[in-house]
Structure 1
Amino acid sequence: MPLLEIKNLVVEFETASGRFRAVDGVSLSVSEREVLAIVGESGSGKSVSMLAVMGLLPPSAMVTADAMLFNGVDLQTLTAADRRKIIGKDIAMIFQEPMASLNPCFTVGFQIEEVLRVHMGLDRAARRARAVELMTLVGIPTPAERLSSYPHQMSGGQCQRVMIAIAIACNPKLLIADEPTTALDVTIQKQILDLLVGLQAKYGMGLIMITHNMGVVAETADRVIVQYKGRKMEEADVLSLFAAPRSNYTRALLSALPENATGNRLPTIADIIGDKPFEEVS
């Protein structure tokens, strides 16, 4: 049985121009110890899909699904209180912008310990010890001293590591990483990806990696879902996707990578496809 299984997810927002469908009938699943990558252009509904699972969309969002099963339990049937017991503990998410996600008014140690207090009920000494352990695990030097630092006193890479520490604090069964290497330099990107994959393998978590970086997909994923305008265009194992993409959108996406450029101009997806409609394949 999959760890997470979503069937026909639809997310809509009311706008001044009418109802906008950000996610249009997406279905997916991920199992324990599996890395699933969700790729596509900005605005393709990748993050919105996962925020719907987390229950973190604003009240204006209209979320429906035939099923949204986690460990066999439909998240849609749970009360808000019961869902909060799962979100942050069994399902955790690393957000795109660590400097925006961390609270600038509290130390990073307080923010890590708060998760442990709410979800695990640890006393102060146990929380402190676990926080030091987590900071060590994610590779932050002098972890005991850095617990008293505020987010602005740490680099972008260190803040991303703190976000990972918060996410894995309760040993989640499923970890969702939303563009975990955004705005980081290439060296730090590699370190963060290695850290995530290492933690996933060590703890046997399911990992959903949201990204538009096909290099990240090639390095980390077992299976890939390609999204465009809220719809799933293609799903395949990572080797098949790169060797023989079936959707013309996926082919265009791969052809638009910088390493595939010819001449002095980087081709766009529109250059490659022209006016042809994108084909969805199951």
Structure 2
Amino acid sequence: MALLEIKNLTVSFDTSSGPFMAVKGIDLAIEPREVLAIVGESGSGKSVSMLAVMGLLPPSATVKADRMSFNGVDLLGLDAAERRKIVGKDISMIFQEPIASLNPCFTAGYQIEEVLRVHMGMDRVQRRARAIELLTLVGIPEPEERLNSFPHQMSGGQCQRIMIAMAIACNPKLLIADEPTTALDVTIQKQILDLLVRLQAEYGMGLIMITHNMGVVAETADRVIVQYKGTKMEEADVLSLFENPKSNYTRALLSALPDNATGDRLPTVSDMLFEPAISGAAS
């Protein structure tokens, strides 16, 4: 049984000019201990698809799916209270822009411990001990002191590690990482990716990596879904995708990689309607 299974997911938003379809009939499945990358340019519906799974879209959004199940549980059939018992505990998400995602009014320790209080029912002593353990696990030096730091007192890389500590605090079965290396310098990007892959292997989690970076896909993923304008263009294992892409859009993405450039300028992905690959039309 798939850890997460989605069939025919559509997401639309109410706008002043009428409904805007952001996600158009996406199918997706991930197995335990698997790393799935969702790749595509900005606006392709990657984050919206996963926010729909988390139940974190605004009231203006309409989410429909033939099936959206986690570990055999129908997510769309749950009320808000039932869903909150799963989201944040069994399914966790690392959001873009860690400094913006952390609450500036509370210390790192308070924000980690709040997750443990809500989902694990730990007392104050247990929460603090677990928070120190988590900060050590994600590579934060002097964790006892860092618990008392506010987000603005930490670097972007440290804030990202705090977000990761919060996400894995309850030993989730599925971790969703939304552009986890955005706005970080190259050295820190590598450290964060290595950390996520190591934690995924140690905890046995399913990991969904949302990215527009094909290099990240090549380094981390087992399987890849390529999205464009809310549509799934192609799905394949990593080796097959890089060696024999099926859709024109995937080929255009790969041709724009610096390693594949043949001239002075990189090829561009023109703004046109690409047809999905036949093999990627269904999961």
TM-score in terms of structure 2 length: 0.97
Asked if 1 retains the 8 angstrom alpha-carbon contact of 2:106 and 2:150, the reply is yes
Which residue in 2 is equivalent to 1:82? 82
1:216 aligned to 2:245? no
Cα deviation, 1:190-223, whole Å, max 9, x if unaligned, reads 1000000000000100000000000000000000
Q: 1:67 to 1:145 in 2, by over 3 A?
A: same
Cα deviation, 1:145-171, whole Å, max 9, x if unaligned, reads 100000000000000000000000000
Q: Report the alpha carbon displacement of residue 264 of structure 1 after superposing the two structures with TM.
A: 2.0
Secondary structure at 1:68 match in 2: strand
Counterpart selection for 1:280 from 271, 277, 281: 277
For 1:163, give the aligned amino acid.
Answer: M
Q: Report the alpha carbon displacement of residue 265 of structure 1 after superposing the two structures with TM.
A: 1.6
Which residue in 2 is equivalent to 1:103? 103
Which residue in 1 is equivalent to 2:260? 260
Which residue in 1 is equivalent to 2:236? 236
Equivalences for residues 13-92 of structure 1 within 5 A: 13-92=13-92
Secondary structure at 1:99 match in 2: helix
Which residue in 1 is equivalent to 2:145? 145
For 1:65, give the aligned amino acid.
Answer: A
Distance across 1 between alignment mates of 2:3 and 2:275: 31
Cα deviation, 1:45-82, whole Å, max 9, x if unaligned, reads 00000000000000000000001000011100011100
Asked if 1 retains the 8 angstrom alpha-carbon contact of 2:234 and 2:250, the reply is yes
Which residue in 2 is equivalent to 1:179? 179
For 1:147, give the aligned amino acid.
Answer: L
Q: Report the alpha carbon displacement of residue 185 of structure 1 after superposing the two structures with TM.
A: 0.7
**Which of 14-23 and 50-59 deviates more?**
14-23
Please list every run of 5 or more consecutive structure 2 residues that lacks an aligned counterpart in the other structure: none
Asked if 1 retains the 8 angstrom alpha-carbon contact of 2:5 and 2:30, the reply is yes
Distance across 2 between alignment mates of 1:40 and 1:148: 38
For 2:171, give the aligned amino acid.
Answer: N
Secondary structure at 1:171 match in 2: coil
Cα deviation, 1:31-55, whole Å, max 9, x if unaligned, reads 1000000000100000000000000
Which residue in 2 is equivalent to 1:12? 12
Secondary structure at 1:269 match in 2: coil
Secondary structure at 2:47 match in 1: helix
Which residue in 2 is equivalent to 1:2? 2
Q: Report the alpha carbon displacement of residue 261 of structure 1 after superposing the two structures with TM.
A: 2.0
Q: Report the alpha carbon displacement of residue 15 of structure 1 after superposing the two structures with TM.
A: 1.1
Asked if 1 retains the 8 angstrom alpha-carbon contact of 2:40 and 2:46, the reply is yes
Cα deviation, 1:119-147, whole Å, max 9, x if unaligned, reads 00100000000000000000000001100
Asked if 1 retains the 8 angstrom alpha-carbon contact of 2:232 and 2:276, the reply is no
Secondary structure at 2:122 match in 1: coil
Distance across 2 between alignment mates of 1:120 and 1:43: 36
Cα deviation, 1:83-117, whole Å, max 9, x if unaligned, reads 00000000000001100000000000000000000
Distance across 1 between alignment mates of 2:116 and 2:273: 52
Distance across 2 between alignment mates of 1:263 and 1:72: 50
Query: How many residues are aligned here?
Result: 279
Equivalences for residues 196-207 of structure 1 within 5 A: 196-207=196-207
Q: Report the alpha carbon displacement of residue 278 of structure 1 after superposing the two structures with TM.
A: 2.9
For 2:89, give the aligned amino acid.
Answer: K
Distance across 1 between alignment mates of 2:63 and 2:173: 23
Distance across 2 between alignment mates of 1:154 and 1:80: 33
Q: Report the alpha carbon displacement of residue 230 of structure 1 after superposing the two structures with TM.
A: 0.3
TM-score in terms of structure 1 length: 0.97
Secondary structure at 2:89 match in 1: coil
Distance across 2 between alignment mates of 1:201 and 1:276: 38
RMSD: 1.0
Distance across 1 between alignment mates of 2:162 and 2:259: 33
